Structure 1
Amino acid sequence: MTRHHPLFRASRLLPLALLAMVGARPAAAQSLFEMQEGVETRWASGENPTGARGAGGQANGGRKGSPTVAIPAGESRVLAQETGTSGTVRRIWMTFPDRGPQMLRGLRIDMYWDGASTPAVSAPVGDFFGIGLGRTATFQSALFSNPEGRSFNALVPMPFRTGMRIVMVNESGRNLDELFYDVDYTVGDRHGPSALYFHAHWRRERQTTLQRDYEILPRIAGRGRYLGTNIGVTVDTATYYNTWWGEGEVKVYLDGDRDLPTLAGTGAEDYIGTAWGQGQFADLYQGSPIADEKAMQWAFYRYHVHDPVFFQRDIRVTIQQIGYLAPHSREPIVRAGRPLYRAGPGRVEMDLSKDGKFERADDYSSTVYFYLDRPESPLPPIAPVAERVAGLERSGQ
């Protein structure tokens, strides 16, 4: 039986030495020079949409006749599909000319495993590939990258047992005349009972609620692994001006936790491994590719590869909306005369002459990534495109 990638195993994490061997770019956990018997490689693209043997590059006499596919407004396209076989999606790459907010949020990518009727993955294409807010940026992480701000790469291993289907839906209201893409996968992989299914879910609250934590991952039942998230924050500058937004703690409720979580962080920038504010950076497992103080927008990510978050019964992941009032940001708040409420229980007004943490409500969106012991989850469909794109003009794109 082939060895399974440590990311989607339900059992305990493989030794760190093995993770070091596979490196930053997830691939099969076997050595590079080991042959996997019965496993074959496929590439699905415009030049070979079915990934079939000996069927690539037929158009124009084999001289690059079909490098792109078109998806008219309101239509969908199957990017890759296999039936009656096991396998693993190993890499997805794509690009298209129009990378503005309407297209990045209007294109939806759905993924189905083992004949499921509802997708395990459903997200706007830009958000799925690691950055929200309808924006792009140059960055590299262990799981996603955008080398020059013009393309989209995913390297998350996605196993299936009896088939898979990856679909792009164009809800942008605009024709997509050129989509370049590759879905690189193998067939014949033998996945044992501990192999989990990859899921991704997008959600947004254009204005969060005071003292109610934003749900990165609403509660789901099952056995699996929380892989991480990318989050986009647009500050409500009409209310909070340029005050700091990122004091909120990430909390992970595991296996029956209700009132209090088992895992609790210490702040938004702390969760992604930085401190004392949040500038632009991109590391393998944590980063903030967008830190735009002019637009007051931040997009950041954290992936739990070396620090796995397993759950045996259920899981829920949240982040608080808590800000900090400091001397450099106090003047417009005082001039406006609006109350701020001290972070904590109840609604207690702050003394605006003093520094301190306060409850706030901003625009949050997120894509969460996780593995689950089943190919479907009870999470709802993502919001309609109008809600996905509303207010994104602040990005200036």
Structure 2
Amino acid sequence: MGPLSNIFELKDGIKTKRISSYDRTGGNDDKIVIKAGETAEIANISGAGIIKHIWITISTPDNFIRRNAIIRMYWDGEENPSVESPLGDFFGQGWGEEYNFASLPLAAAPAAGKALNSYFPMPFGDGARITIENQSEHNIDSFYYYVDYEEHPSIPDTAGRFHAWWNRELTEVHPEDGEAEWGLVGEVGKNKSDKDNYLFADIEGKGHFVGVNYYVDSPGPMWYGEGDDMFLVDGEDWPGSLHGTGTEDFFNSSWCPNEEYIHPYFGYAKVPDKLGWMGRTHCYRFLLEDPIYFDKSLRASIEHGHNNNLTLDISTVSYWYQTEPHKPFPELPGKDQRQNMPEINFMDVHRWRHEWRKAMGNGKKLWGNEIKEKKDK
């Protein structure tokens, strides 16, 4: 059943509505201002319906507004948001950056990714609210938006509510093993648990998981993606019902890719142009044809390197539908905790080489690929 398969069907009792930032005076000042530190309610809908599309574009002196502004969504009068995420990360842009991104449910469109779009259907039975909190020190001088939705007489009891959760972690390596990916600098250990994995979903209730935006910043040139994805359904023990074979495999690619690739369901919206895989990579996968179903709970995680042996800055937004009430999200990290890690550059690499030369005895013609064990013989 494709998106056009029932477009010709005529329906009764449904009304199409829109809330937008249009100029109520009839002029062309079609925006709102969200002052620094304030929260704006951009939609407050009563009754039952389905939000079908959201479009947002903004202008502000703050060039990090995509991390400094928070989008939240509430269904059916709930107190705890079902959606809570930095604005850019939710729509498919990591690290507070602007860049084009295209997928079936989410997109960041021209000019230069400034137009943020969601096509996730978001049903509600007794009201819906969407807010934007400006945690920046600057006003959002121009905030333009559409919220397109349908009014329905009622919503079926089988309609799960849309959820999205942002998480971030600066991952740690095992001190005894070091960063030993591919066995390059030491023996690679074995992982028979998900306890040290990066967690991207921790859900209670009945529902189905439909996707994730995965933003990884690697401080070194080694391939970041030997980590397996692991989904533990309804409280089951490791290895669980769905156990993967590597990060790129979960994102439907292969062999350590480092190239942009855009598919409606999966791809690489951003890749680094540095040494190896050093820098920022945005992977995404939407399980729209193959959602992961759960009746009681879902714990979803991924290794940060095989056996969790890499230090990486990972941020994710996960998307799913479930029954309410949902398990409240952990407290969103403050603005200072959402800043990017410093960029590793060529000077840092040269400092590493300087320390390596000292470890190799400061030979006068060391090239850089010598192995210490061979040098000592």
TM over 0.5: yes
Size of the aligned set, in residue pairs, is 319
**Deviation sequence 1:47-86 (CA, Å, 0-9, x none):** 2xxxxxxxxx531xx242x311000100011111112x10
Read off the aligned partner of 2:69 and give its amino acid letter.
L
Task: Give the number of the structure whose alpha-carbon radius of gyration is greater.
Answer: 2
Cα deviation code 1:241-282 (max 9, x no counterpart): 311111111111111212322101111111111111222111
From 329, 340, 345, the counterpart of 1:379 = 329
Counting only pairs closer than 5 Å after superposition, residues 77-116 of structure 1 correspond to structure 2 as 77-83=40-46, 85-98=47-60, 102-116=64-78
What secondary structure, in the 3-state scheme, does the structure 1 residue paired with 2:11 have? coil
Match of 1:286 among 257, 266, 289: 266
Q: CA deviation at 1:225?
A: 0.5
In structure 1, the partner of 2:24 is: 58
Q: Structure 2: which amino acid aligns with 1:217?
A: A
**Quick one: which of 202, 217, 221 aligns to 2:201?**
217
1:189 and 1:206 map into 2 onto residues whose CA distance is 46
Distance (Å, rounded) in 2 between the aligned partners of 1:312 and 1:209: 34
Please say if residues 101 and 392 of structure 1, whose CA atoms lie closer than 8 Å, have aligned partners that are also in contact. Answer: no
1:344-380 C-alpha deviation (Å, 9 max, x unpaired):
5xxxxxxxxxxxxx82121111101111111532321
Per-residue CA deviation, residues 8-36 of structure 1 (Å, 9 max, x unaligned), is xxxxxxxxxx2x1x15xxxxxx8223232
Distance 1:99 1:253 in 2: 43
Deviation sequence 1:144-200 (CA, Å, 0-9, x none): 012222210000000000000000000022110001111111112532111100000
Task: Letter of the 2:214 partner, please give it.
Answer: I
Aligned to 2:127: 163
Residue 373 of structure 2: aligned partner: none
Aligned match for 2:287, one of 296, 300, 304? 304
1:262 to 232, 241, 262: 241
User: What does residue range 125-274 of structure 1 map to in structure 2 within 5 Å?
Assistant: 125-148=87-110, 149-208=113-172, 210=174, 212-218=196-202, 220-236=203-219, 241-274=220-253
1:225–1:310 contact (8 Å) kept in structure 2: yes
Query: Which residue does the alignment assign to 1:52?
Result: none
C-alpha displacement of 1:293: 3.4
Structure 2 Cα separation of the partners of residues 392 and 92 of structure 1: 33
RMSD: 2.0
* TM-score, reference length from structure 2: 0.80
With over 3 angstroms needed to count, the CA separation of the structure-2 counterparts of 1:208 and 1:92, relative to structure 1, is farther
Q: Does 1:364 pair with 2:343? A: no
Asked if 1:31 corresponds to 2:6, the answer is yes
Measured after TM superposition, the shift of residue 99 of structure 1 is 8.7
Separation in 2 of the partners of 1:142 and 1:102?
A: 26
- How far 1:136 sits from its partner (Å)? 2.5
Partner of 2:188: none
**Shift in Å, 1:394:** 6.9
Kindly indicate whether the alpha-carbon contact (under 8 Å) linking 1:133 and 1:299 is maintained by their aligned counterparts in 2: no
C-alpha separation in 1, matches of 2:200 and 2:14: 36
Residue 39 of structure 2 is aligned to residue 73 of structure 1: no
* Deviation of 1:135 (Å): 1.8
- Give 1:100 shift: 6.4
CA distance in structure 1 between the aligned counterparts of 2:255 and 2:154, rounded to whole angstroms? 47
Gaps of 5+ in 2: 175-190, 346-377
Q: Which stretches in structure 1 are left out of the alignment for 5+ residues?
A: 1-17, 24-29, 48-56, 323-342, 345-357
**Shift in alpha-carbon separation, 1:89–1:296, aligned structure 2, 3 A:** same
Change (3 A) 1:217 1:77: same
Q: Counterparts of 1:81 and 1:394 in 2: how far apart (Å)?
A: 44
Indicate conservation of the 8 Å contact 1:109/1:121, yes or no. Answer: yes
Q: Secondary structure of the residue that 1:310 maps to in structure 2?
A: strand
Deviation at 1:393, TM superposition (A): 6.2
1:321 aligns to 2:308 (yes or no): no
3-state SS in 1 of match to 2:336: helix
User: Residue type matched to 2:70 in 1?
Assistant: R
CA distance 1:125–1:99, change in 2 (3 Å): farther
- Please tell me whether the aligned partners of residues 230 and 301 of structure 1 are also in contact (alpha carbons under 8 angstroms): yes
- The whole-number CA distance in structure 1 between the counterparts of 2:27 and 2:16 is 22
User: Which string of whole-angstrom CA distances, capped at 9 and with x for unpartnered residues, describes residues 207-245 of structure 1?
Assistant: 345471000112x22100011100111112xxxx31111
Give the corresponding residue for 2:178: none
Greater mean deviation of Cα atoms: 359-368 or 205-214: 205-214
Check the 8 A contact 1:119/1:376 in 2, yes or no: no
2:214 and 2:284 in contact (8 A); partners too: yes
For the Cα contact (< 8 Å) 1:281–1:289, is it kept in 2? yes
TM-score, normalised to structure 1's length? 0.76
Q: Secondary structure at the match of 1:96?
A: strand
